[in-house]
Amino acid sequence: MKSNLFIFICLLSSCASIPPVDSTKKISFTDIEQIKLGETTQTDLEQRFGKPVKIVRINDQLTGVIYDEFNGKEMIQKASFNIENNTKTVSGVLWIPSSSDVLSNIAEAKKYFKNGHFITKVVKRTAVHESFDDVYLMDDSLGISMSVYPSKQRVNSIMVGLPTEHRTPAVSAKITL
């Protein structure tokens, strides 16, 4: 009886140290580049990345499909895809680089998109007790926007193929990055 209890406790304690099972594969920007806007379907995404962690109906035209990944400590959002409800195809992608991704650095991201001619846009936002700026680097000819933290030289997210009104901030200002 004591040996069975000991084995049970050992098994239980070993389970506590196992991270949550991630049903999705890691999603790199190279994976994002393989997505064909207007052609890739939600079924294609599931075959490539596994089941999404969340599916959200955004409005009558769009559904959001969200994928997380385990970063060693917790599950974090890695990518979300806009699916056109009428065609069931991907119309836009938001990808979030981790700090270890090369594209998390603004200079490296600009080098990667070497044909890009990025315009800097700033959106001023006010929360209850603070005011802050959201900064975007945008290239409408490539259909790419990057949300960035200039003070840290960090890319927060890269958006591909979303309609301009979803990528373009309301207020424009020139700043040096």
What span, in angstroms and rounded, lies between the C-alpha atoms of 84 and 90?
Answer: 6
pLDDT tens digits for 105-131? 999 999 998 888 898 888 777 777 776
- What per-residue confidence (pLDDT) applies to 131? 64
* Residue 76 half-sphere exposure toward CB, CA atoms < 13 A: 13
Contact 111, 95 (CB under 8 A): no
Structure token digits, residue 9: 């406790």
* CATH tag, 19-96: 3.30.1450
The domain locations on the chain are: 19-96, 101-177
State the pTM of this model: 0.74
What span, in angstroms and rounded, lies between the C-alpha atoms of 111 and 98?
Answer: 18
161 — pLDDT class (breaks 50, 70, 90): confident
Contact 79, 65 (CB under 8 A): no
